[in-house]
Structure 1
Amino acid sequence: MIRVVDASVLIKAYVPETGSEAAARFFAAMDGGEVEALAPDLIYSESGNILWKKVRRGELTAGEAREISAAILGLPLRVEPGHVLLPLALDLALSCGVTVYDALYLALACVHETTFVTADRKLVLALEATDFRRHVQDLE
């Protein structure tokens, strides 16, 4: 089974917080070969930014953030270039009222006719009223 995964899910796999258990299950399924995870290349920048914010807020040390960053880079993600997805992502962002960043993940899910797994509840709710709701799944 192929699933698109976003940075919110990656971070929850490494930082204990709400949704961490569900993220751990997702990655266990990936490790077991049950799930192949896809992501736009934006996932690395977004993950790094989330880690930076957590260090700034005192939720992680710089060393912990570096360790998590290295672990994320070692994940067997199938990463696709965002620039190829940009035209579709922009159209999706404009029609669904979401950011282009979020729409890149949605575009990838649409192209591969699969589901985009996210821990971003606001995004899930924003897409519930659209024709694209079948392409998004709340991590929980």
Structure 2
Amino acid sequence: MDTSVFIKYLCPDEQEGEATELVGQALSGRIVLPCFAWAEIASVLRKKVRSGLLTEGEAGQLYSAFGELPIDYVDGEDIRARAWEMAGMYGLLTLYDAVFLAVAEKERANYWTADTVFLKALVPKPSYVFALGRENGRDG
């Protein structure tokens, strides 16, 4: 899962049942994310405070709730190299999404995203990538 899914799970203004169900299912297994994922989540929450969508207290509670999730943060030179390669392969301007892809590939994990722009860039789309809202992967 990427930041877009976790934000839909955490935030009252974006809450989506599909994200809640997906995170709930993931809790029975292993959640792996890039080592910087916590900072991405925090950055989105800070932006929501700045734009008036969340209070400082609400954002802090959501950040704490995210921090309580049993997440394995991973990093490594192999992930960094593969992310660079994937960013070039898919024409991505930054490596953030590519690192999520590389982690999912290395860990043989399903990668869920609600980022439709990113999904459109993935041609061909890896078999382990799924769009939120597509019945949690049951559509193949």
Tell me which interval the TM-score lies in, with the shorter structure as reference length. 0.7 to 0.9
Taking structure 2 as the reference length, the TM-score comes to 0.85
Q: Paired residue for 1:49, among 43, 52, 77? A: 43
- Corresponding residue number in structure 2 for 1:66: 60
CA distance in 1, matches of 2:115, 2:77: 23
List structure 1 segments (4+ residues) > 6 angstroms apart after TM superposition: none
CA RMSD of aligned residues (A): 1.7
For residue 111 of structure 1, what is the aligned residue in structure 2?
106
Gaps of 5+ in 1: none
1:95 corresponds in structure 2 to 89
Question: TM-score when scaled to structure 1?
Answer: 0.85
Higher helix share: 1
Number of residue equivalences: 132
Secondary structure of 1:27's counterpart equals helix
Counterpart among 129, 132, 136 of residue 129 in structure 2 = 136
Q: Which one of 5, 15, 19 corresponds to residue 23 of structure 1?
A: 19
Tell me by how many angstroms 1:113 deviates.
2.8
Any stretches of 5+ residues in structure 2 without a counterpart?
134-140
Q: After superposition, what is the alpha-carbon deviation per residue over 1:30-81, rounded to whole angstroms, capped at 9, x for unaligned?
A: 33x2x42211112111001100111111110111111011111110112112
